[in-house]
Every structure is written in structure tokens, then in C-alpha cells.
Structure 1
Amino acid sequence: MSALTAAPVAESPLARRNPTMKLALLVLVSVVAVFVLDPLTPSVLYLLGLAAVVTTVRPPARTLALAHVPFAAFALGVFIVNALARPGEILWQAGPLRITVEGLEIGGALAARTLLIGILAIGFLLSTDGVALMTSLHQNARLGARVTYAILAGYRMLQEMPREWTTIRQAHTVRADPRDGGGPPRGPRHLGGVIFTLLVVSVRKGERMAQALESRGLGLEPRTTWRPVRVTGADWAMAGAVAAVVALVIGASAWLGYLEGPSALFG
């Protein structure tokens, strides 16, 4: 995910939409997905979300695949744990291991939910500039200036951490004893030294950044915005389209008899 936050936001239809509106839709769909516990409904929503991200963000296939890795790994773990540990009608058993029908259903639903939230988060990160997001939250969501610029400063530091990590490792390599084989240093002791150095650098940089923000009047009111981020009619149209699609999928799933709610956990 660090590659997503560090990559520049490419020009795309979704990148032109208001960041606060996109964040609100991400939270809304995620909350709705929490109450859906059948495998089919979140799977359909995931496929629709994937198609929307591919067409409106147009990310490289490699970037999209790598961004899926943590979500896919977590989804697989959730699926396996539920399939093996949830009681119910036994579908397969070998010694202490058994797979139940209820475990497959609940595990599949939770895995599909994870992928759904993952693709929404990936689309949001790939199409949203950090500065525009914080400006929009300050302007449209009335988030305080102290919180806004503190989060933005932390976001910038997070973006720079991979570069800092590479620089520190290269410095350690240059200072390595050539008698150790001439290669880059490895091992827990080296890794601990790099992590400690990165921590010290980050703390010092954060202190300097805090002093710079305070010296520039952080928190003083009233403030002006250099590049305002407004909510347009296209943003409201996007919100209406997303809400309509989610409602249509859930309604169709309920009408066909596939929709399951939280009661499926205790059925």
C-alpha cells in the first residue's frame, strides 16, 4: 500500500471528483457491506467496483494486482479460518480437520466483503491527491485547520519514508566493513539499526515540521484557501449513481432470496 500513497495521482475521471464525496461514499458502502453476510451480494458489488476502478481510474494492471495482495491475503485467511472453525453441517472431514457448509458460506461472505472494501480503498487512493483531500475536508467537511494540516504533514512524512529507508540502507552499506564479504549488511542487528535510524530521523523531521507549522500561524482564523475544492453537480451525480447501484444489487439479491444479514452468524 505504500506504493499507492507514494505514487502520483494520474489524471482520470474519478480523480476529478471531490475527495470528501469519494471518502463519504467509501465509508457508506463499507458500512452497508458490514451488514451483508451472503457470498453472492458482496461478490457482485466487488466485481462492479473493480470494473468502475478499471474504467474510471485506468491503473496499470501490475499496480492494481499488487494493491490487491494485502486484501487478498487477509480474505484468504478469513475464509480458511471460518471454513475450518465454524460449526455446522460437515461437508468434509479428515481427523481433527473439518469443513462445514456454514463455514464456507460465512467465510466466502467475509472474504468477498474484504475484497469489496479493498477495491474501494484502492480506487480512492489511486484517484485522490493528499493535499486536495485535506483541503476538501477542511473546506467541505469543516475539519479544523490544526487537525487538517497535522494529518497532511503526517501523510507527507509517510510518503517520504520509503525513500528515507533506501537512503539509510545505502548509507549502512557504504559504511560496512569490506572484510565481511563486500555485500550489503544483513541480519537482525542491521535491520534494527536501520529501523532505529529511521525512527530518529522521523521524530526530528516531525519536530521541525511542527515548529514550521506553528511559526506560520497554524490554527489562526479566518483562513483563506489557495485552491478551493468545490462540490459540483457531477459529484452529486456520482454519489447518486453509486447509491442507486448498491441499492439495486441488494434489492435484487433480497428478491432472489440470496441476501443474508448478521443473523447468518448465529443461524
Structure 2
Amino acid sequence: MSALTGAPAADSPLARRNPTVKLALLTLVSLVVVLVLDPVTPTVLYLLGFVAVAASVRVPARTLALAHVPFVLFALGVLTVNALARPGTVLWQAGLLRVTEEGLSVGAALAVRTLLVGVLAIGFLLSTDGVALMTSLHQNARLGARVTYAILAGYRMLQELPREWATIAHAHTVRADLRDGGRPPRGPRHLAGVVFTLLVVSVRKGERMAQALESRGLGLEPRTTWKPVRITTADWVLAAGVVAVVAAVLALSAVLGVLRGPGALGS
């Protein structure tokens, strides 16, 4: 989580693109791959997306790898559940556990789809400033000030969560009784206390933020923009390039007979 909530790479090529355009492309690609259920097509898209994000977002390889961790874990869970639970031709069986060909194929497709959406989300988060995102949504997507400032507030709170978690966890560790050998507590009770405290702190911070926004006339019209975020020719080139690449991969996959749609779920 902390890898995704650090300061965006402001000098990277992707960071200079319009946040609304990037968000629209992320949403479009995510919706398109929902209908793709073969493992090959999303794998090709994932590899292309990974190379594009690594080249256009100038962050250390370690940061990019750590940001993948939650998506990899979720993808492994999806693959395991489908491989063991979906009926079909049995490839391996040991007692009540069995792996089917159909389950492995669909599970792999869903797992790689998770990685694809994940790497695109990583690129978006690591290259997008919260203020620029709010301004762009208000100016380019015509969202109201209440909605865009709420998005900015949520974005900022998400960035602060890792630091808040570390602070609260250290405070609970200092106050708690040490276990045998002088080790600090790390059990479920300690974790529950940290989670509850973080929830209370977040709710109170959200309340203070809402009061601050209201006191500054949030929602009043007309409003002006200090630093406008415009859609440039380079943004349209980015959008056209992403759409063209996705369409080309899908078309090539269909020509080769690899592409499979929602009908694979019934197999």
C-alpha cells in the first residue's frame, strides 16, 4: 500500500498527461478485458502495459514490484479457487482436491486480468497528483466541486494511511506489555486495537476536513481555477495509441483463434 501512496513522479512522461484522460483509459481497458476469458490475450496486454508503465513512470523497480504484491496475492487466490472449484476435465486429483482444465484456463485468465488492471492502476496512482486529478475532473469531466473535493480529500487520506498506521502501531506497542523474551505483541488483539484506532482517527479527520471545506464555501458558484489542467494534443495521442494497441491485440487474438469471451464460463 505504501508503494502506491507515495508522491507521484512529477517529472515522468505519464505524469504530464491529463489525469481525466488517464482515468478514462484505465476504465475503458478494465471494461474491455472483463469480456476476455482466455489467458493468452490478457497476458499479452499485461506485458505491454507493464513495459509501458515501467518506461513512462520513472520510479525504482523495487517500488513497482512492491506495488504488485496485493494484486499478485489476489490473482493467486482467484487462480486457486477456479482451478479447484470449476468443473471440467480433471488434470490432477488427490482426495477431495482436483484441478480441472477448464478451471485452470478460466482461473489463469481472471488472474492475469487482475494483474493487467493492477499494473494500469499502479501507473495511474504513481503518476497522478491529487490536486491535478481534482482540478481535471472538475474542469474536463464537468464534475461538481463537492464531488471533486471529496475525491481529493479521500485521495489525501489514502496517502496518509501508511504513516498513520505506523504511528498507531508503534504507540500501541509502547503501551502494551512485552511478551516472553522482550518481544512486542503481534497477535490478533493487538492488530484489532490498531485497526480500530485507525478507523476512529480517519473518521475524525474526515469530519474535520468536511467542516473545513464547508467553512470555505465549498459548492458555491461561480468558482475559478488557479492552475487549469487542459487536454492537449499529446493526451489525444496517448488515448489513440492505447485504444489502437488494445484493438490490435484483440483482433490478432481473434484471428489466431485464441480469443474467448464469456461463453468460456459455461464450459
- Return the alpha-carbon distance in structure 2 between the equivalents of residues 67 and 47 of structure 1: 16
**1:157 partnered with 2:157:** yes
TM-score, with length taken from structure 1? 0.92
CA distance in 1, matches of 2:114, 2:84: 19
Which has the larger displacement, 53-62 or 41-50? 53-62
Q: Is the 8 A contact 1:78 1:111 kept in 2?
A: yes
Separation in 2, partners of 1:86, 1:181: 47
Q: Superposition pairs for residues 36-185 of structure 1, below 5 Å?
A: 36-175=36-175, 184-185=184-185
Do the aligned partners of 2:179 and 2:185 also contact (CA within 8 Å) in 1?
no
Q: Which amino acid aligns with 2:43?
A: S
The CA deviation string for residues 217-247 of structure 1, in whole angstroms up to 9 with x for no partner, is 0000110011110000000000000000000
Alpha-carbon deviation of 1:14?
0.6
Cα 1:210/1:251, change in 2 over 3 Å:
same
Structure 1 portions without partners, runs of 5+:
none
Could you say what secondary structure the match of 1:98 adopts?
Answer: strand
Deviations 1:174-214 (A, max 9, x none): 54568997664554444344333333332322222111111
Q: How many percent identity over aligned positions?
A: 79
Query: Aligned letter for 1:97?
Result: L
1:172/1:185 contact within 8 Å kept: no
Q: Which amino acid aligns with 2:228?
A: P
Q: Could you tell me how far 1:126 is from its partner in structure 2?
A: 0.9
Task: Quote the Cα distance in structure 2 between the aligned partners of 1:233 and 1:5.
Answer: 29
Q: Which residue of 2 aligns with 1:230?
A: 230
Query: CA RMSD for the aligned pairs?
Result: 2.1
**Distance in 1 separating the partners of 2:116 and 2:153:** 29
Give secondary structure in 1 for the equivalent of 2:205.
Answer: helix
In structure 2, relative to structure 1, the CA distance for the partners of 1:175 and 1:102 (3 Å cut) is closer
Q: Which runs of 5+ in 2 are unaligned?
A: none
Which AA in structure 2 matches 1:229? V
Q: Which amino acid aligns with 2:17?
A: R
Equivalent residue letter for 2:132: A
Verify the 8 A CA contact 1:86 1:100 in the aligned structure 2.
yes
Instruction: Name the count of aligned residue pairs.
Output: 267
Q: Deviations over 1:143-180 (max 9, x none)?
A: 11011112211221222222223333344445456899
